């Protein structure tokens, strides 16, 4: 009976965790286009299947019992009933704050980006100079060797 209780509690926590993931997915997919949302949904459900498989494999060698899935459903239900509003507000606040910080970093990095662009063109300029010198050298070498006659003359 102790093992079944462990499985029940573990799957209950997996259900809570999946509810948190699903809320995060709702927040992210609300800001994406349909194709990206479909890809994210596919990846989400593939990761859910992998998570449930690994947990059940570690706990009871993948014996599929009804109480394991009922406890996972209860965990998800309790999450949505008790915690979903809190986590949705937290996710929205986190994304808004992250966007504000990224916009602020983008604005203050303007002088740095200009300097990095100038430094980034330096290897191109050096490469162009090197290729030009190489081309001039090859032309001079060809002129020098091309004016020489072959001794003995080839027949």
The answer to whether residues 6 and 81 belong to one domain is yes
Cis peptide leading into 152, omega within 30 of 0? yes
pLDDT-based confidence at 151, cuts 50/70/90? low
**What's the N-to-C CA distance of the chain in angstroms?**
101
Q: What is the pLDDT averaged over residues 79-86?
A: 95
Same domain, 131 and 68: no
Same domain, 117 and 61: no
pLDDT in tens, 25-78: 999 888 888 999 999 999 999 999 999 999 999 988 888 889 999 999 999 999
Pair (124, 76) in one structural domain: no
How many domains is the chain built from? 2
Structural domain including 135 reads 110-146
């Amino acid at each position: 009976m102790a093992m079944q209780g462990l499985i029940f509690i573990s799957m209950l926590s997996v259900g809570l965790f999946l509810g948190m993931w699903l809320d995060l997915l709702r927040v992210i997919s609300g800001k994406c286009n349909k194709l990206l949302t479909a890809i994210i949904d596919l990846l989400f459900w593939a990761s859910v299947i992998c998570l449930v498989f690994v947990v059940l494999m570690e706990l009871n060698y993948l014996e599929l019992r009804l109480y394991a899935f009922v406890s996972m459903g209860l965990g998800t239900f309790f999450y949505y009933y008790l915690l979903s509003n809190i986590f949705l507000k937290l996710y929205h606040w986190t994304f808004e704050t992250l966007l504000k910080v990224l916009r602020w970093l983008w604005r203050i990095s303007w002088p740095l980006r200009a300097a990095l662009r100038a430094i980034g063109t330096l290897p191109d300029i050096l490469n162009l100079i090197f290729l030009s010198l190489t081309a001039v050298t090859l032309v001079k070498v060809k002129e020098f060797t091309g004016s020489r006659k072959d001794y003995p003359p080839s027949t």
